[in-house]
Structure 1
Amino acid sequence: MTEAFRAHCPRCDGERKCLIHGEFDQPWCEDHGRNQMQGQMDHKLVQCAGCETVFYYRSSWDDQDWDGDYHPVTGESIITYPRTIVTYPVPEKKGHKPDWVWDIGQKDPQLFKILYEVYQAYEAESFILAAVGLRTAFDLTTTYLKIDPGHTLEQKVKELRENGVIGETEAMTLQTVTEAGNAAAHRGWSPDRETFQILLTTLEQFVHRVVVSGKAALSLNANIPARQPKPKKQPKPNS
């Protein structure tokens, strides 16, 4: 049976029940003549029991960092060694990556990967790279929608409009996203945080609608009862 304990999940960004899939305790000691230092590092490979994210967990202590206290009854001195906890990856910043992005990994792993890297670039304030990533994410989304990958980005926007996937206003906003990505890729243009947030929100709304919620809505058709035909009106009898 897999052992469980509580740890800070980097995706949930909170303490959660986690399953231990592997662990290794590493005590150490350094002897410098009269001075000696010792401590221990405990390594674990764990998985959040909620979101199922797998991450690395390390707990360490050393005898140079200690706290002293006294037992309230016996008066004996008590020495404790505070532990330093490190997890990798580090907890994600709030407000950047919406949770539905993780669902895309089940539908299109390549699209998920580029979106994940867009958010990493955003959090690092690498806005040129992030803007180029938005353009690539749009390109991959159109491939997911079976748009000819040989078309230019402008042609892909036009085809989405003509096929009724997007309306005229969304076509113009997505055109802005692709033009911003082109400017970043070919002319080194860097949007500021506020400008990039607008571009990101525009693409998020498009991707969520056509990849996540749109496909989910279409899958409901089989469960919705078909409309029953109305009975034909009977002719009135002659009086």
Structure 2
Amino acid sequence: MARPDDAVKCWCNRCRSDTYHHIAASHETVVSGTDPRGRDASRRLIYYVVECLGCKDIHFLKIDISPEDLIWCSNSEHPFDSPYVQENYPPRNIARRVPEWIDLIDVSLASMLRESYMALSIGAVRLAAMGGRAALEYIAIEKCEDMGSFKKNVNELVNAGFLAKNLESTILSALDVGSAAIHRGYTPGLESINDVFSIVENIVESVYLLPESGERLSFTTPKRPEKRKS
């Protein structure tokens, strides 16, 4: 695909690939300085607000251009084409896609999950495991009450009808990964941490999203006409 006018190519977390972006805003500054040998070590910093031309997701970029790159970049139409150091915010996430429903759930829970995905994106799997555990505990306490232990909290979710009984041991397994990361120095592998977040996402959908979906369907589906009495 040819580059559209005024577009740059960079990573998009939602599309999970390098895509063309529109530059919505930019700011450039030069940080002056010298290295220990007295040589010029000034850096050119460029900040961008960009919008993906595919999914329309908006994110932020910082491009850090070293003195060696300044001459190279002066001959380039876009600093994106240079051997820059690029920082993305939110960070580049190639480990797991943030769910589309993240903005539809409880604000505190959404913030907790975003931080967990951010940790996962930079390889901080122990922090991510702790975040997954915290999210599951938050759901149990927010929907029921704090019963004093993880097992009792999960059991209360089951008793309140939010979860099926056969999911209880599954949730406790995910909680234990976070506990092991905190108390036993455990570093889960990528497959294990993805299993944890598959469980977390499934629970979020079951507790917060599916009931609302059911209500919408019930409201929009025509009712079966009553049978006429003969």
Q: CA deviation at 1:27?
A: 10
Given candidates 27, 36, 46, the residue that maps to 1:23 is 27
In the superposition, relative to structure 1, how do residues 121 and 43 fare at CA in structure 2: closer, same or farther (>3 Å)? closer
Aligned residue in 1 for 2:126: 128
User: Could you give the per-residue CA deviations for residues 117-160 of structure 1, whole angstroms, max 9, x where no partner exists?
Assistant: 3233334444433322221010222345x211455322221122
Q: Could you tell me whether the CA contact under 8 Å between 1:9 and 1:15 is conserved in 2?
A: yes
Aligned residue in 2 for 1:148: 145
Aligned residue in 2 for 1:51: 56
In the superposition, relative to structure 1, how do residues 19 and 88 fare at CA in structure 2: closer, same or farther (>3 Å)? same
Query: RMSD of aligned C-alpha atoms?
Result: 3.7
Q: Could you tell me whether the CA contact under 8 Å between 2:95 and 2:121 is conserved in 1?
A: no
Q: Could you tell me whether the CA contact under 8 Å between 1:7 and 1:16 is conserved in 2?
A: yes
Larger radius of gyration: 1
User: Could you give the per-residue CA deviations for residues 4-33 of structure 1, whole angstroms, max 9, x where no partner exists?
Assistant: 6334244233223324234336598x9xxx
Question: AA paired with 2:213?
Answer: A
Matches within 5 A, 1:1-239: 5-11=7-13, 12=15, 13-24=17-28, 41=44, 43-49=46-52, 50-58=55-63, 60=65, 61-63=69-71, 65=72, 80=75, 83-85=82-84, 86-89=86-89, 92-100=92-100, 103-144=101-142, 146-149=143-146, 151-232=148-229, 234=230
Indicate the structure with greater helix content: 2
Q: Could you tell me whether the CA contact under 8 Å between 1:10 and 1:87 is conserved in 2?
A: no
Q: CA deviation at 1:44?
A: 3.7
Give the SS at the match of 2:176. Answer: helix
In the superposition, relative to structure 1, how do residues 17 and 80 fare at CA in structure 2: closer, same or farther (>3 Å)? closer
Percent identity over the alignment?
Answer: 19
Task: Give the unaligned 5+ runs of structure 1.
Answer: 31-35, 67-78, 235-239
TM-score normalised by structure 1 residue count = 0.68
User: Could you give the per-residue CA deviations for residues 144-196 of structure 1, whole angstroms, max 9, x where no partner exists?
Assistant: 5x211455322221122223322222111012222333333333334333333
Separation in structure 2 between the aligned mates of residue 132 and residue 104 of structure 1, nearest angstrom: 19
TM-score normalised by structure 2 residue count = 0.70
Q: CA deviation at 1:90?
A: 7.2
